[in-house]
Structure 1
Amino acid sequence: MQRQTGRAHSIALAAMIAALYTVLTLLAALWGLAYGPVQFRFSEALTILPVFTFSAVPGLTVGCFLSNLFSGYSTDLVVGTLATLISAVGTRLLRGVRWHGLPVLAPLPPVIVNAVFVGAEIVILSPGGFAWAEFFAQALSIGLDELVVCYGLGLPLAAWINSSRAMKKLF
């Protein structure tokens, strides 16, 4: 019976993370910050969650897929979702690298992977086609947006989870 409860908890947690990611992305979209060359998705702060639970890997992936249904770019369904999956796995793998209890390298995979994947996607879909200078400009823009959200919001979220008994119990 304990195994079934654990599995149900994992599925419910993944579903909750997917729903939260989607809602936060759609909130960012209201201000024009979720899709396109400027992406300041508040939901990307949640990419720190694989540090605490494996359930965040499928949760973030499904949440990204659902969010990208609204992007207007059909390629986002594949490229963005794949980038999120790779990022979530990378974050999970770096969960043990800590400084003063904080997983300081864990936010790095979403920053790097999204900069490369989304930067390339934007440039490839642009009317002029792929150009290295444009790719580096887009990758830098996306990477900086990710850096601000993942480190500026994600690490404080990790600190809060570490300090909260209720959050530790949830994860």
Structure 2
Amino acid sequence: MSKTNKLVKISVVAAIYIVATIALGQLSYWGPIGFRLSEMLNFLAFIDPFYIISLTVGCAISNFYSFSIVDVFVGSFQTLLSTYAMWKTKSMALSIIWPVLGSAFIAEELHVLYKVPFFYTFFTQAVGELAVMILGYFVFKRMFKNTAFLNRIKIKSSNHKIEKDFQNK
């Protein structure tokens, strides 16, 4: 695959993340419960590590529209860590835990900046993230079974996790 093709795929996913987050702004930045549907795209990192870049950049740009410039850095760092952990996790279902646990970064950010209670904020952020990730799990599990789709979105030529989990079913 050419470098241009890789860059296009990475850019398109970042753009989809940004547009989905901003277009659904009321849900994406909704009070104590973060219900950012674009987070479902995190499952792309499960199949290809190049999408970690897309998701981190998409999150950073989207967070310019959030409550604080600090969120550009904290939220993006949380996305970087979560998507990297998702890529390293062998099970797609288990990989859900990383973005949910990453909600602690956002809770700490809100606690430091606005003095909101950490555990309450962590709970509400984690509930929203868990709901989105469970929904995303079912959506992407079905999408990853489509061989034509999978071959089109893969950046690396082979991914043993996907081939083992989805091609044999």
Same fold flag (TM > 0.5)? yes
Counterpart for residue 70 of structure 1: 65
Q: Separation in 1 of the partners of 2:151 and 2:32?
A: 38
Q: Does 1:23 align with 2:29?
A: no
C-alpha deviation, 1:117, in angstroms: 0.5
Q: Which structure has greater helix proportion?
A: 2
AA of the residue aligned to 2:127: L
Aligned partners of 1:22 and 1:66 also within 8 Å = yes
* Deviation readout 1:47-74 (Å, 9 max, x if unpaired): 1111111121000000001101111311
Rounded Cα–Cα distance in structure 2 between residues aligned with 1:63 and 1:19:
6
Name the SS for the 2:131 alignment partner: helix
Counterpart residue number, 2:39: 44
Distance 1:140 1:123 in 2: 13
Aligned to 2:24, the other structure's residue is in SS state helix
Superposition deviation, residue 164 in structure 1: 1.1
Structure 2: stretches of 5+ with no match in the other structure: 155-169
C-alpha displacement of 1:85: 0.4
**Letter in structure 2 aligned against 1:143:** A
Q: Contact 1:11 / 1:55 at 8 angstroms: preserved in 2? A: no
**Consecutive aligned runs of 4 or more in structure 1 exceeding 4 Å deviation:** none
Aligned length in residues: 152
Amino acid at match of 2:40: A
Deviation at 1:28, TM superposition (A): 1.9
State the alpha-carbon separation in 1 of the partners of residues 6 and 70 from structure 2. 29
Matches within 5 A, 1:4-153: 5=2, 7-29=3-25, 32-35=26-29, 36-94=31-89, 96-97=90-91, 103-113=92-102, 115-126=103-114, 129=115, 134-152=117-135
Specify every segment of 5 or more residues in structure 1 that has no aligned partner in the other structure, as ranges: 98-102
The one-character-per-residue Cα deviations of 1:5-38 (angstroms, maximum 9, x if unpaired) are: 1x32222111111001111101220xx2222422
Deviations 1:75-103 (A, max 9, x none): 01110010000011010001x22xxxxx1
TM normalised by structure 2 equals 0.84
The alignment-based identity, stated in percent, is 28
